[in-house]
Amino acid sequence: MIAGLHHAGVHVSNLEGSTRFYQHVFGFWVAERLCLGNEQLLFLQGPGACIELIAEGRGERQTGAIDHVAFEVDDLDKWLSRPRQHGVCLLDDAPVTVPELKARILFCLGPDGERIELFERRAPVYGVQRLSPLR
């Protein structure tokens, strides 16, 4: 049985620079650091999330692509100040409402061009009935 997602791994070109980015912008802290062969691995922990930064010494490894990493936040409007304060490239001008997910989202870029989604789950609106699609 799957208990949950343990972590997402992201290949980075500068381990220290990416570590600072995730610490300063998203409030992560270093949980573990290790080397496996030519790879330096650094696990960053945040409230309810873990991300693994992978730096491969020879820069040869490029494997399957991950489209993005999503961090759930409690207040997207409040969280937007952090990426802006750090000069992070925002891909959306403002949060995007996604009614099907009952959420608002916003994408930004990490230091290696990785797409990072900030995901705010919206409370359901009571008293509003959702209609089924016509068949």
Q: What is the pLDDT of residue 37?
A: 78
Could you tell me the domains of the chain?
8-59+67-121 (3.10.180.10)
- Rg of the chain over Cα atoms, rounded to whole angstroms, equals 17
What's the pTM?
0.71
Q: Residue 110's CB: how many other CB atoms inside 10 A?
A: 21
* Residue-level pLDDT, tens digit, the chain, 135 residues: 545 677 888 888 889 999 999 999 999 999 999 887 788 889 999 988 899 898 887 656 554 456 688 888 889 999 898 899 999 999 998 999 998 888 899 999 999 888 898 989 886 655 444 444 554
